[in-house]
Chain A
Amino acid sequence: MKQPLVKIKGIYKDYQLPKKFLFQKAPVFRALHGINLELHHGTSFGIVGESGCGKSTLARIVMALDEPTSGTVFFDGQDLFNMPAAKLKHLRRNFQMVFQDPYGSLNPRKNILGIVAEPLDTLKEKLSFAQKKERVAKILTEVGLNATDTDKFPHEFSGGQRQRIAIARALITRPSLIVADESVSALDVSVQAQVLNLMMDLQEKYNLTYMFISHDLSVVEYVTDQVAVIYMGKIVEQGTTKTLFHGPLHPYTQTLLRAVPDVNPLNKKQKNKPVIPLFKKTDMSCPFIDRCHKATKTCVDNAPELLGNDGHLVACFNAE
Chain B
Amino acid sequence: MALLQVQDLCVTLNTAHGPQEVISHINFSMEAGDKMGIVGESGCGKSITALALMSLLPRDSQTRGKIILEGRDILKLNSNKICSIRGNRIGMIFQEPMTALNPVKQIGAQVSESIYLHLKLTRKQTLERVSELMDKVGLPVSKFGLNLYPHQLSGGQRQRVMIAMAIACNPEILIADEPTTALDVTVQEQILDLIRDLADSSGMALIIISHDLGVIAQTAENVMVMYTGQSVEMGSTMDVFQNMSHPYTYGLFSAIPHVGSSVQLDRKRLNSIPGQVPELHLRPRGCNFADRCSRALKICKDKEPMATRVADHHQVWCYHPLTCEDKK
Cβ contacts A to B, 26 pairs, < 8 Å: A50-B185, A51-B155, A188-B211, A188-B277, A189-B213, A189-B255, A190-B251, A190-B252, A190-B273, A191-B41, A197-B270, A218-B259, A222-B257, A222-B270, A241-B262, A259-B189, A261-B192, A261-B212, A261-B214, A261-B219, A263-B214, A263-B217, A264-B217, A264-B241, A268-B218, A271-B189
B186's partner among A223, A245, A255 (CB-CB below 8 A) is A255
Min CB–CB distance A263 → chain B (angstroms) = 5
Q: Contacts A50-B184, A190-B273 given; 8 further ones with Cβ under 8 A? A: A188-B277, A190-B41, A193-B271, A215-B184, A221-B257, A221-B259, A260-B259, A261-B214
- In this assembly, does B258 line the interface, its C-beta being within 8 Å of a C-beta of chain A? yes
In whole angstroms, what is the CA distance A255 to B187 when docked?
11
- In this assembly, does B267 line the interface, its C-beta being within 8 Å of a C-beta of chain A? yes
In the complex, which residues of chain A have a beta carbon less than 8 angstroms from the beta carbon of B211? 188-189
B257's partner among A194, A196, A262 (CB-CB below 8 A) is A196
- In this assembly, does A233 line the interface, its C-beta being within 8 Å of a C-beta of chain B? no
A262 and chain B: residue at smallest CB distance: B214
A269 and chain B: residue at smallest CB distance: B218
Quick one: given A257-B259, A261-B218, are A272 and B189 in contact (CB under 8 Å)? Answer: yes
Residues of B within 8 A of A (CB): 41-42, 155, 184-186, 188-190, 192-193, 211-215, 217-219, 237-238, 241-242, 251-253, 255-263, 267, 269-273, 276-277
Min CB–CB distance A101 → chain B (angstroms) = 14
Task: Say what secondary structure dominates the interface of chain B.
Answer: helix
Determine if B269 and A189 form an interchain contact, defined as CB atoms under 8 angstroms apart. no
- In this assembly, does A158 line the interface, its C-beta being within 8 Å of a C-beta of chain B? yes
In whole angstroms, what is the CA distance A223 to B270 when docked?
10
In the complex, which residues of chain B have a beta carbon less than 8 angstroms from the beta carbon of A264? 217, 241-242
In the complex, which residues of chain A have a beta carbon less than 8 angstroms from the beta carbon of B188? 259, 261
Closest 6 pairs between A and B when the two form their complex, measured CB to CB: A261-B214, A222-B257, A193-B272, A193-B255, A188-B41, A190-B273
- In this assembly, does A219 line the interface, its C-beta being within 8 Å of a C-beta of chain B? yes
Determine if A188 and B42 form an interchain contact, defined as CB atoms under 8 angstroms apart. yes
In the complex, which residues of chain B have a beta carbon less than 8 angstroms from the beta carbon of A257? 259
In whole angstroms, what is the CA distance A256 to B214 when docked?
15
- In this assembly, does A217 line the interface, its C-beta being within 8 Å of a C-beta of chain B? yes
Determine if B218 and A256 form an interchain contact, defined as CB atoms under 8 angstroms apart. no
Determine if B238 and A265 form an interchain contact, defined as CB atoms under 8 angstroms apart. yes
In the complex, which residues of chain A have a beta carbon less than 8 angstroms from the beta carbon of B41? 188-191
Determine if A263 and B238 form an interchain contact, defined as CB atoms under 8 angstroms apart. no
Determine if A242 and B218 form an interchain contact, defined as CB atoms under 8 angstroms apart. no
0/1 string, A214-230, CB within 8 A of B gives 1: 01011101110000000
Determine if B269 and A197 form an interchain contact, defined as CB atoms under 8 angstroms apart. yes
A222's partner among B213, B267, B277 (CB-CB below 8 A) is B267
In the complex, which residues of chain A have a beta carbon less than 8 angstroms from the beta carbon of B270? 193, 196-197, 222
Min CB–CB distance A68 → chain B (angstroms) = 25
- In this assembly, does A266 line the interface, its C-beta being within 8 Å of a C-beta of chain B? yes
